[in-house]
Amino acid sequence: MGRKWGQHFLVDKRALHSIVSAIKWWGKKYEYLIEIGGGEGALTEYLYRINHEKLVVIDIDKNLFQLLKNKYPEAKVVHGDALKVQWTSLVPEGQEFGIAGNLAYDIANGVVWKTLKNREFIPEAVLMMQREVAQRLLTIGTRTTNWLAVILHLFYKVFRIIDVPPKAFKPPPEVWGTVLRLERRPEPLYNIDIEKARQILTMAFQHRRKQLRNNLKEFADLLPSDLLSKRPEQLALSDWIVVLKLISEKYQT
């Protein structure tokens, strides 16, 4: 696709209302909301009405940044790359915040990973992304599951809010979108260092059609035989917790 996903601006009111309605805890569990990629301000408009003083908007495009700054003067509008800006620096020190946005295809996984890295500050995130990307994050134990999905489900509950057709965007892209709600778990299912988890899971998923005994050959003596005979797509989240627990506890870094 010639255009980046983020240049297809969401204009459908039903989809916009769905995103806003899925933001449940703003003003209750936390005060500040960071919108990633304000674009032309369709979502920003709704968020600004809710609480303009506690709204932060990031946009990488200099022209759109200026447009947003002019339209929403009482919000904090930031010009920068959302994957490089330190999110915690945009709100008062130590405060929790929510995340929302219509994400470009090429940054969706990066935003989810950065959410995980800042999870102690982020109770919820409501994100629009390409449907195929969302599908990989939604479920564990399918052909499309990846390492990021496994880590995400350890720390957040993941909900599909709505699928959004191409006609909801201006101009219409060639793909559908999906809105996901990420809701931080009261306690992680397994509280592992996420960089360590990524190292283990990247190895486990390196050859999807091979069994774990091949992908995790150096750790095979640690793992139950019933898991070693499975391919990555066949493991449930509870299986992955066993894998991560046995390997990470044996090899402390």
Same fold for the pair 5-184 and 194-250: no
Q: Considering only CA atoms, which of 29, 21, 28, 65 is closest in space to residue 47?
A: 21
Residue in the block written with tokens 């994100």: 127
Residue in the block written with tokens 């899971």: 201
Please state the length of the chain.
253
Which stretches within the chain are classed as H helix? 13-22, 42-51, 62-71, 108-117, 131-138, 147-155, 194-204, 212-215, 225-228, 237-250
Q: Which amino acid is at 241?
A: I
How much is the pTM? 0.94
Q: In angstroms, rounded to a whole number, what is the distance separating the alpha carbons of residues 246 and 107?
A: 32
- What is the mean pLDDT of the segment spanning 139-154? 95
**Mutual orientation of helices 147-155 and 131-138 as an angle, nearest 10°?**
60
Pick the CATH number of 194-250 from 3.40.50.740, 1.10.3720.10, 1.10.8.100, 2.40.30.10: 1.10.8.100
- What is the mean pLDDT of the segment spanning 135-164? 96
- Please tell me the predicted confidence (pLDDT) of residue 106: 87
Homologous superfamily of 5-184: Vaccinia Virus protein VP39 (3.40.50.150)
Give me the residue spans of the domains in the chain.
5-184, 194-250
Which pLDDT tens digit goes with each residue over 3-41?
Answer: 343 468 999 999 999 999 999 999 999 999 999 999 999
Across all residues in the chain, what is the average pLDDT?
Answer: 94
Which pLDDT tens digit goes with each residue over 209-227?
Answer: 899 999 999 999 999 999 9
Q: Which amino acid is at 36?
A: I
- Please tell me the predicted confidence (pLDDT) of residue 57: 98
Q: How confident is the model at residue 252 (pLDDT cuts 50, 70, 90)?
A: low
Residue 110: exposed, middle, or buried by beta-carbon count in 10 A (0-12, 13-18, 19+)? Answer: middle
